[in-house]
Each structure stands twice: as structure tokens, then as C-alpha cells.
């Protein structure tokens, strides 16, 4: 405190030169500015998305026809593992953190995040963690090959040497997430403009506040799991080894106590984004703001009670199976409240269909579809059939691609004019939307049938009867991949020569971000706005 006051005093006369960003590369290395850090997160996320996407396309190439043609089974396992890990930790989570950085301070009327230097660390840890994870592909032995769930004993007794680098990378990502979450909570609780009560905050701030608590609750559980793995691998413990008195099933309990809330970490901010966008393009306020907040809290709390629905087949007591079945089904209630409120927001609204709205609508339909297949999976006896089949792959991709990913696209199109000062081309944006939504369904819808027909997941070869649907899925995946390169082109074109955006950007948008010029200036709200 006193140090900062002192430095304030002697920088008084060069104060005037400090309003813009630093020049050159060091701007990005040393930045503590929430907008710069938001931008860094978003680009890192997009780079990971393309890398994770290339791995997915290699998987889909191998599965284009039955038989082994491109990769060996060992490498195939590395591909599924790294694809899953990179998409979850490298693409989706950093994108939401990037959006939080860009948007929370300006939505709250704050000058920056509460802990700007911590923020710089939270970001810069990640490129190192991801590079290390990716470098395992070139290590002797093999890259991690045990799925993104890294079940013991595959990852302990049978894990390749690179597993230790994987463990270190997970620790670094976890540290970054926890620091980021602390920053979000501190910002929301301490930095709101005068007059902005919690129940007046934009709903995106609420969903991120709740997500940040989830992160702080479960990242240490993940850290514990990988640390126990490390000691099992090298220091003579046997937490997860039955031979030494431990229990590999305990690994699954610990993993999923992290893993299930983790999927809500990847969806609650998406709920917030959709709840910001729908009212703008419906020209009506969000229906049931308070019930949206309570439903989000309820979903977050329930997410801690359902982890073992991933483990119905391990041999749980019947009472356990029933408990986890009903607890899982209960989540449909608050989720239903949200879907109902979104529908009610649009009801009798004056709707228009710009690109962010299209992505938001696809989100609602397709995420709900993913929710339905989730309900099917939660029926314990039925799960014995679906478990580890392509039905599961279809389910979680319907939740993650049109859910998490499309909400991120919606957010980018919605706020891009505010970030860059330029409009994207609506024709190109809509083309990207239609290409993505069609190819995404072509890719993942047939996987439901493959799963119901019994095709197992995580296999490089399959029986002849699965050939047609796999071929369709692979074609869809390639179109989807190409559409995302097109998205990159759209964004670059917008930054370089898009039409100048107005401050308001969208005619009916509400919130403090629309009171700022476009592009948003480097420093904003150094005097807090007053919210009535």
C-alpha cells in the first residue's frame, strides 16, 4: 500500500505518458492490463483449439474406414488423450478466462482486475504448461496414452515416463486456474461500481463468480490426485495399487469428484454469455434474472453430488447407484429453469438473427439435446449398455461443442466490435455459423447410433457394420475443422479492415461496456461510474 502510494508520488510528472500500452513485445510479457491479458488468453485458446483440432482430425482420419491405415494403436491412444486434455484445459477453459478478463472489469465499472500482477502470472504459466504437455509427443517412450481421465493403474503402473511431465503440466494449469479464480472473486466482490449490488450485476458476472468457487473447490482435488499418482510412481506409496493395500477405484472417485464439477466449469460461463446475448437480440430484458442466479447456484451445488454417475459399472452398492442416478436427474430441474427462462425471454420479443444470436439459438437447442442424452446416460441400468461406447462421445461433444464452444463463438462475435472497434462481416459470420452447425451435427449425431449399436470408444479399428456412420462423422469433422480456419480469417479481416463500429454496437444492448467507446480504451473507469 505505502509502496504504491510512494511510487505514485514520484511518477507524478511522467504520469501523463502512462496512459497507453508499452511498446513492442514487452507490452505483452509484462502487461497487467485486463484487456491485454484477456486478448492473450483468447489467442492462446484459439491456438490450442487448432492444435487439439488437428489431433481430432488425425483420429477421424484413422476412423474413416475400418482397418488400420494411418497410425498404430499406441499412437491412437496418445491422440485421444492429448486431444481431450488440450480441448478441455487449453481451448475451452482459457477462452472463458479470457472473456472474464476482458469483460468483468468493464461490466462491473472497475478499472482493472483486483490483482493485476497475479493476473499476469496466471496467464504466463499456461504457455509453458501447454508446451510441456505437447512436448511429450516427442519424448522417448510415448506421450500420455491413458485418456484424459488418466485412470490408475494405466497412468501409475503402466504410464510411460512422460507421465511425470503430464503431472507437472497439470499442476501448473491448476495453479493458474486457482490464481485466476481468486482474482475473479476478488474483482467481483470488491471492485463493483457504486450502486451495483450483487443482484444488479450482469448475469455473466454471476455465472463467473460461481464458476470461480467451483474452480477453487476442485482444482486442489485434481492436484491431490496427480500428486498421489506421482508418489505411487516414484516414492513407494500405493494409494491406487491394490497390491500395496490401495485401491484403483478410489482413483476414479477422486478424479470424478474433480471431473464432474469440471464439466460445469466449462458450461456455467456459457450460460452467462447466452443470458447476455439473448435479451439484446430479443429486445427484452432477461426473463427471471433472480431465478437464473439461483438456478446457477443450484446446478453448481448439485454438481458435487453426482460424480459417480461416471462409474456405474465399477461395482457400487445398489444404494450408491440409485443415489447417483437420482441426484444426476435432479440437475435437470434447475437446468430446465434456465432453458424455460431463455425461451420466455424470446417469447413475444422482437427477434433478429445476427451471428451471435444464431450461435446462442444453436446453443439452446443442441445443448438441450446433449442434456437429453445425459439423462439417458444417468439411468443406471441403461448406462451399463452405453458405458464406454460412442454414445458417450456423442453426448459430451453435444455438450461441449455447441455448448461451451458455440457460446465462445457467440461471445466473440458479440463483443468483437467493442474489442477491436470494427464490425465483422455479417455474411461471413453467418456462413461460419451455418458451416459449423451443420458439420458439427454431421460429425456427432451419427455417433449416437454408433454407440447404441455397440461401437466402443477409444479404439483405432472397428467392425465392418460401423463403417458408414464413421465415414459420415469423419467427413463432418473435416468440414468443421475447415470452418474454424475460416473463422480465423473472419477475425483477422475484422481487426484489419472491418467497418467502424459505434459505441453502442447493438441497438438494444444494455450494460456498462456499451457506454465505452469502441474499441474500448486501454484504461477505463478510472473514476467509477455510478449505477442506479
Binding site for Cu ion (CB under 5 A): 260
| Footprint of ligand HEM on 189-218 (CB under 6 A) | none
**Site size with ligand HEM, rule: CB under 6 A:** 24
- Among 480, 487, 506, 525, the residue binding ligand HEM under the rule CB under 6 A is 480
Q: Is 206 a catalytic residue?
A: no
d(CA 291, CA 476): 38
For 272, 416, 509, the CA distances from 504, given in Å and listed in that order, are: 20, 12, 7
Phi, psi of 215 (to 5 degrees): -60, -45
Find out whether 92 and 490 touch, Cβ atoms under 8 Å: no
C-alpha cell at 258: 474433480
* CA-closest candidate to residue 90, choices 120, 60, 36, 131: 131
87 near ligand HEM, judged by CB under 6 A:
yes
- Nearer residue to Cu ion within complex by CB, 100 or 399: 399
Find out whether 80 and 458 touch, Cβ atoms under 8 Å: yes
* CA-closest candidate to residue 328, choices 379, 271, 256: 379
Find out whether 355 and 433 touch, Cβ atoms under 8 Å: yes
d(CA 146, CA 158): 9
Helix (H, G, I), strand (E, B) or coil at 511: coil
Give the count of alpha carbons within 13 A of 142, CB side only.
17
- Nearer residue to Cu ion within complex by CB, 116 or 320: 320
Q: Is 177 a catalytic residue?
A: yes
Find out whether 311 and 255 touch, Cβ atoms under 8 Å: no
For 38, 98, 411, 524, the CA distances from 42, given in Å and listed in that order, are: 6, 5, 11, 20
- Of all residues in the shown chain, the one whose CB is closest to ligand HEM is 84
- Nearer residue to ligand HEM within complex by CB, 275 or 443: 443
CB of 354 to Cu ion, least distance (A): 34
- Among 457, 493, 510, 523, the residue binding ligand HEM under the rule CB under 6 A is 457
Instruction: Indicate which residue of 310, 395, 422, 448 is catalytic.
Output: 310
Instruction: Indicate which residue of 22, 253, 430, 457 is catalytic.
Output: 457
491 near ligand HEM, judged by CB under 6 A:
no
Give the count of alpha carbons within 13 A of 496, CB side only.
6
Select the binding partner of residue 171 from Cu ion, ligand HEM, none (C-beta < 5 to 8 A, by kind).
none
C-alpha cell at 418: 467493442
- Among 51, 125, 218, 401, the residue binding ligand HEM under the rule CB under 6 A is 401
466 near ligand HEM, judged by CB under 6 A:
no
Instruction: Indicate which residue of 260, 284, 395, 448 is catalytic.
Output: 260
400 near ligand HEM, judged by CB under 6 A:
yes
Instruction: Indicate which residue of 192, 233, 338, 418 is catalytic.
Output: 338
Upstream peptide bond of 153 is cis (omega within 30 degrees of 0)? yes
147 near ligand HEM, judged by CB under 6 A:
yes
416 near ligand HEM, judged by CB under 6 A:
no
d(CA 467, CA 344): 43
- Nearer residue to ligand HEM within complex by CB, 233 or 310: 310
Angle of the 406-420 helix axis to the 467-497 helix axis, nearest 10: 10
CB of 361 to Cu ion, least distance (A): 26
Q: Is 335 a catalytic residue?
A: yes
Select the binding partner of residue 56 from ligand HEM, Cu ion, none (C-beta < 5 to 8 A, by kind).
ligand HEM
CB of 257 to Cu ion, least distance (A): 10
* CA-closest candidate to residue 262, choices 223, 219, 305: 219
Q: Is 432 a catalytic residue?
A: no
Q: Is 291 a catalytic residue?
A: no
- Nearer residue to ligand HEM within complex by CB, 105 or 144: 144
- Among 88, 223, 228, 325, the residue binding ligand HEM under the rule CB under 6 A is 88
Helix then strand count (H, E) for the chain reads 19, 2
Instruction: Indicate which residue of 176, 296, 373, 494 is catalytic.
Output: 176
Q: Is 43 a catalytic residue?
A: no
CB of 280 to ligand HEM, least distance (A): 25
Contact residues: ligand HEM, CB under 6 A = 53, 56, 59-60, 80-81, 83-84, 87-88, 92, 147-149, 393, 397, 400-401, 405, 443, 457-458, 477, 480
* Catalytic site positions: 83, 112, 148, 176-177, 260, 262, 264, 275, 309-310, 335, 338, 457
Amino acid at each position: 500500500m505505502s509502496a504504491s502510494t510512494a511510487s505514485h508520488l514520484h511518477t507524478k510528472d511522467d504520469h501523463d505518458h502512462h496512459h497507453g500500452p508499452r511498446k513492442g513485445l514487452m507490452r505483452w510479457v509484462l502487461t497487467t492490463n485486463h484487456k491485454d491479458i484477456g486478448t492473450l488468453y483468447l489467442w492462446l485458446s484459439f491456438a490450442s483449439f487448432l492444435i487439439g483440432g488437428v489431433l481430432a482430425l488425425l483420429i477421424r482420419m484413422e476412423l474413416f474406414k475400418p482397418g488400420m491405415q494411418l497410425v498404430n494403436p499406441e499412437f491412437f491412444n496418445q491422440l485421444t488423450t492429448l486431444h481431450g486434455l488440450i480441448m478441455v484445459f487449453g481451448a475451452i477453459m482459457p477462452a472463458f478466462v479470457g472473456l472474464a478478463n476482458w469483460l468483468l472489469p468493464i461490466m462491473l465499472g472497475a478499472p482493472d482486475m483486483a490483482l493485476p500482477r497475479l493476473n499476469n502470472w496466471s496467464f504466463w504459466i499456461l504457455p509453458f504448461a501447454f508446451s510441456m504437455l505437447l512436448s511429450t509427443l516427442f519424448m522417448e517412450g510415448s506421450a500420455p496414452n491413458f485418456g484424459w481421465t488418466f485412470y490408475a493403474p494405466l497412468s501409475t503402473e503402466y504410464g510411460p515416463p512422460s507421465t511425470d511431465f503430464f503431472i507437472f503440466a497439470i499442476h501448473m494449469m491448476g495453479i493458474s486456474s486457482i490464481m485466476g479464480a481468486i482474482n475473479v472473486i476478488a474483482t467481483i466482490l470488491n471492485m463493483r461500481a457504486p450502486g451495483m449490488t450483487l443482484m444488479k450485476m450482469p448475469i455473466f458476472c454471476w455465472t463467473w463468480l460461481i464458476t470461480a468457487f467451483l474452480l477453487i473447490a476442485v482444482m486442489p482435488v485434481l492436484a491431490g490426485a496427480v500428486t498421489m499418482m506421482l508418489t505411487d510412481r516414484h516414492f513407494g506409496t500405493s494409494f491406487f495399487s491394490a497390491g500395496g493395500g490401495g485401491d484403483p477405484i478410489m482413483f476414479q472417485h477422486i478424479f470424478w469428484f474433480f471431473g464432474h464439477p469440471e464439466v460445469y466449469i466449462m458450461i456455467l460461463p456459457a450460460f452467462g454469455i447466452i443470458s447476455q446475448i439473448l435479451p439484446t437480440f430479443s429486445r427484452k430484458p432477461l426473463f427471471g434474472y433472480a431465478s437464473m442466479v439461483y438456478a446457477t447456484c443450484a446446478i453448481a451445488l448439485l454438481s458435487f453430488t453426482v460424480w459417480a454417475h461416471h462409474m456405474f459399472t465399477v461395482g457400487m452398492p445398489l444404494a450408491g447407484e440409485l443415489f447417483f442416478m437420482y441426484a444426476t436427474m435432479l440437475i435437470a430441474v434447475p437446468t430446465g429453469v434456465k432453458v424455460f427462462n431463455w425461451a420466455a425471454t424470446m417469447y413475444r420479443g422482437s427477434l433478429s438473427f445476427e451471428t451471435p444470436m444464431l450461435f446462442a439459438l444453436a446453443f439452446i437447442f443442441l445443448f438441450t439435446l446433449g442434456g437429453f442424452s445425459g439423462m439417458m446416460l444417468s439411468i443406471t441400468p441403461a448406462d451399463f449398455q452405453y458405458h464406454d461406447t460412442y454414445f458417450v462421445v456423442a453426448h459430451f461433444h453435444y455438450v461441449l461443442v455447441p455448448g461451451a464452444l458455440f457460446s465462445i463463438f457467440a461471445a466473440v462475435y458479440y463483443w468483437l466490435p467493442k474489442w477491436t472497434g470494427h464490425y465483422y462481416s455479417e455474411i461471413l459470420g453467418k456462413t461460419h455459423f451455418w458451416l459449423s452447425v451443420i458439420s458439427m451435427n454431421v460429425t456427432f449425431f451419427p455417433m449416437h447410433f454408433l454407440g447404441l449399436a455397440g461401437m466402443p470408444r477409444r479404439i483405432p479399428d472397428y467392425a465392418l457394420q460401423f463403417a458408414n456412420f464413421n465415414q459420415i462423422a469423419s467427413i463432418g469433422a473435416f468440414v468443421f475443422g475447415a470452418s474454424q480456419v475460416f473463422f480465423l480469417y473472419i477475425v483477422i479481416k475484422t481487426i484489419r479492415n472491418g467497418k467502424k463500429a459505434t459505441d453502442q454496437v447493438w441497438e438494444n444492448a444494455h450494460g456498462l461496456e456499451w457506454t465505452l467507446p469502441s474499441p474500448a480504451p486501454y484504461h477505463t473507469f478510472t473514476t467509477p461510474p455510478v449505477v442506479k
